[in-house]
Amino acid sequence: MNRASLALCAVGGFLLGLAGCTALDLGLDMGLPAAEAAGEVRVVDGKPADVALTLQATLKKAGLEATVVPDGATVVVQSKSKSGLQFALMLKSQRAADGREQTHVSMEWLDNRKDQQTSVQVFTELDRQTKR
């Protein structure tokens, strides 16, 4: 009977995990959801050229070099992570439903490798600045 109870508890725990119970937070995420939630795309208010200058200043403040390169309808902010991996922030203009100009910001890693820490750092700072 003891083995049956243990097996039943194990199956119940497995099913609970599959169901995605949000009330049961055991704190076992180990930082992964924060990185995933940060993502690598944002939409912010303003023109791409203005957003590019803000991003350039933010990257320089974090100790990263940043170069703004206009590329047709897109503005590109080129930089490198502290570990030397190259990335670009692609800025494209779009209109909000109310007609305001917004900028779609996405991050592309140019070395076929990603530095998740840099991604989180850049987008966390961008989020912080746009909530002011």
The answer as to whether 18 is a domain residue is no
CA distances from 123 to 56, 103, 111 (A): 13, 14, 19
The answer as to whether 78 is a domain residue is yes
The answer as to whether 20 is a domain residue is no
The pair of structure tokens assigned to 62 is 């974090």
- Give the pLDDT score at 23: 40
Can you tell me whether residue 24 is helix, strand or coil? coil
For range 61-79, the mean pLDDT: 93
Domain harbouring 118, CATH code: 3.30.310.80
The answer as to whether 23 is a domain residue is no
- Give the pLDDT score at 128: 85
The answer as to whether 24 is a domain residue is no
The answer as to whether 13 is a domain residue is no
Separation of alpha carbons 108 and 41, rounded Å: 10
- Residue 115 is part of which domain span? 31-130
User: In this predicted model, what pLDDT tens digit does every residue of 80-132 receive, in sequence order?
Assistant: 999 999 999 999 999 999 999 999 999 999 988 898 999 998 888 888 877 76
Element (DSSP H or E) covering residue 107: strand 101-109
Can you tell me whether residue 52 is helix, strand or coil? helix
The answer as to whether 17 is a domain residue is no
The answer as to whether 70 is a domain residue is yes
- Give the pLDDT score at 107: 95
Number of domains in the chain: 1
- Give the pLDDT score at 78: 97
Separation of alpha carbons 65 and 32, rounded Å: 27
- Give the pLDDT score at 5: 52
User: In this predicted model, what pLDDT tens digit does every residue of 17-68 receive, in sequence order?
Assistant: 444 443 433 343 334 344 344 467 999 999 999 999 999 999 999 899 999 9
